[in-house]
């Protein structure tokens, strides 16, 4: 495909039929906004944000479960920092912390297991959210806990897999920009097979050149009028992906129907630990009840995650809802679309 200048020529001069290209990944959304790539596009190309921010798609009920574990079961919650301010039905984890909950920020699930090992008198629960890129690390943390014979460590899973979301959203989208880091783990075979179902996509990297090239490829291939798949991130993504990571997750986890914020329950789109590992599953260990979370009805994250509206269409955007006082997950998360628009909309 084209050199950088040719890619820019393609995206700045396209005047064919209207195209909706969904950048599935929150990091893509941020990089596209940060580098001003949207401003290069013609009116015929619409870039829409998708459900690839793990914190954003995690439902309210998951936050409620974590708050319950922290306040009622006296567990130390180990979590990525972004989740702390995501609103639950009654309160966020930050609110729980004000009521005395012990919320500990970690950078990897493995850090959480180490924390549990260093604090044998405390029950420690890691909030395991994320897609194919982060799930293997949660599996390693559980393996480490087994090797260390820990009985005070468990994980609360909200891990998700991407392919089901591609099916659910396909009618809103002409071309997906597939998340390169997810494909680095999964490989490309599944995305290639989606072509047979009429779903088109390009695997994109994260630099300005990689993103403009991927968008240019999406435009040029769409002009051919038939479904397609292109791996435009071959320096990282292979057909096979990471067989080791796939094998470990297959061995330790199994698919379940799971809820996505905005998309509802999607069949077999989540993962939980298999029975053999269930003593590390916080829902089993603490016999958690099923919790139906209720989000703020004024927040429109759900529609944003489906690509139906842009953050700027939300009446609360930049007025009531800001990164300092976020109303919804898409403004809290560093990968959220509302956060990206807030930071870079005027660039
Ligand atoms: S701007 Fe705030 S309230 Fe509106 S959709 Fe985004 S996160 Fe929700």
| Residue minimizing CA distance to atom 1 of ligand 1 | 317
Domain presence at residue 272: yes
Task: Give me ligand 1 centre to Cα 175, in Å.
Answer: 25
The Cα 32–Cα 213 span in angstroms is 12
Task: Give me ligand 1 centre to Cα 317, in Å.
Answer: 6
The reply to whether 172 and 200 lie within a common domain is yes
Q: What is the pLDDT of residues 169-221, one digit of tens each?
A: 999 899 999 999 999 999 999 999 999 999 999 999 999 999 999 999 999 99
The reply to whether 170 and 308 lie within a common domain is no
User: Which residue range forms the structural domain that includes residue 153?
Assistant: 56-74+83-157+241-285
Task: Give me ligand 1 centre to Cα 128, in Å.
Answer: 24
| Residue minimizing CA distance to atom 6 of ligand 1 | 338
96 ligand 1 Cβ < 6 A = no
**What pLDDT sits at residue 333?**
84
Task: Give me ligand 1 centre to Cα 332, in Å.
Answer: 9
C-alpha radius of gyration, the chain, whole number? 20
301 ligand 1 Cβ < 6 A = yes
Domain presence at residue 295: no
The reply to whether 211 and 136 lie within a common domain is no
**What pLDDT sits at residue 346?**
60
Q: Which helix (DSSP H) or strand (DSSP E) does residue 230 occupy? A: strand 229-231
Task: Give me ligand 1 centre to Cα 344, in Å.
Answer: 16
**What pLDDT sits at residue 2?**
46
Task: Give me ligand 1 centre to Cα 304, in Å.
Answer: 9
The reply to whether 122 and 183 lie within a common domain is no
Q: Which residue has the tokens 């089901």?
A: 164
The reply to whether 172 and 62 lie within a common domain is no
The encoded tokens of residue 295 equal 């989000």
| Residue minimizing CA distance to atom 3 of ligand 1 | 299
Task: Give me ligand 1 centre to Cα 300, in Å.
Answer: 6
The Cα 250–Cα 145 span in angstroms is 18
The Cα 57–Cα 38 span in angstroms is 24
Q: Exposure pattern of 106-144 as b/e (b: 16+ CB <10 Å)? A: bebbbbbbbbbbeeeeebbbbbbbbbbbbbbbbbbbbbb
Among 304, 308, 320, 322, residue to substitute to test ligand 1 (most atoms within 8 Å of Cβ): 304
The total number of residues shown for the chain amounts to 347
The reply to whether 60 and 100 lie within a common domain is yes
**DSSP string over 176-207:** EEEEHHHHHHH-SHHHHHHGGGT-EEEEE-SS
299 ligand 1 Cβ < 6 A = yes
pTM listed for this prediction: 0.91
Q: Which helix (DSSP H) or strand (DSSP E) does residue 112 occupy? A: helix 109-118
The reply to whether 107 and 245 lie within a common domain is yes
The reply to whether 63 and 125 lie within a common domain is yes
Ligand 1 nearest atom to the CA of residue 314, by list position:
4
CB-CB neighbours of 279 under 10 Å = 15
Query: Which residue stretches of the chain have pLDDT < 50?
Result: 2-4
**What pLDDT sits at residue 164?**
86
**Ramachandran bin of 66, using left for φ above 0, alpha for ψ from -120 to 50, beta for the remaining angles:** alpha
**Do the Cβ atoms of 299 and 316 come closer than 8 Å?**
yes
Domain presence at residue 312: yes
101: CATH: 3.40.50.11740
The reply to whether 121 and 204 lie within a common domain is no
Q: Any residues with CB less than 8 A from the CB of 151 and at least 6 apart, and which?
A: 279
């Amino acid at each position: 495909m084209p050199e950088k200048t040719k890619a820019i020529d393609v995206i700045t001069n396209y005047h064919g039929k209207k195209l909706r290209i969904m950048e599935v990944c929150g990091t893509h959304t941020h990089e596209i906004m940060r580098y001003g790539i949207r401003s290069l596009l013609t009116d015929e190309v619409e870039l829409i944000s998708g459900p690839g921010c793990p914190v954003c798609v995690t439902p309210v009920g998951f936050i409620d479960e974590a708050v319950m574990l922290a306040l009622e079961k006296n567990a130390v919650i180990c979590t990525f920092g972004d989740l702390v301010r995501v609103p639950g039905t009654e309160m966020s984890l930050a609110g729980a912390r004000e009521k005395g909950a012990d919320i500990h920020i970690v950078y990897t699930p493995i850090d959480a297991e180490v924390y549990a090992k260093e604090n044998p008198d405390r029950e420690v629960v890691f909030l395991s959210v994320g897609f194919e890129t982060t799930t293997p690390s949660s599996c390693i943390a559980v393996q480490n806990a087994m090797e260390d014979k820990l009985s005070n460590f468990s994980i609360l899973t909200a891990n998700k897999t991407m392919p089901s979301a591609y099916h659910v959203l396909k009618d809103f989208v002409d071309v997906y920009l597939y998340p390169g880091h997810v494909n680095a783990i999964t490989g490309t075979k599944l995305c290639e097979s989606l072509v047979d179902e009429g779903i088109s996509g390009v695997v994109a990297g994260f630099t300005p050149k990689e993103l403009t090239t991927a968008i240019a490829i999406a435009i040029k291939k769409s002009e051919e009028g038939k479904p397609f798949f292109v791996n435009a991130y071959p320096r990282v993504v292979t057909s096979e992906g990471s067989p080791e990571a796939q094998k470990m997750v297959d061995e330790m986890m199994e698919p379940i129907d799971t809820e996505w914020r905005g998309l509802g329950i999607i069949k077999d789109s989540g993962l939980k630990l298999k029975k053999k590992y269930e003593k590390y599953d916080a829902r089993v260990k603490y016999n958690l009840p099923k919790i139906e979370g209720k989000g703020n009805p004024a927040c429109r994250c759900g529609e944003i995650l489906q690509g139906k509206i842009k953050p700027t269409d939300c009446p609360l955007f930049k007025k009531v809802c800001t990164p300092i006082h976020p109303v919804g997950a898409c403004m809290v998360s560093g990968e959220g679309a509302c956060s990206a628009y807030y930071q870079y909309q005027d660039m």
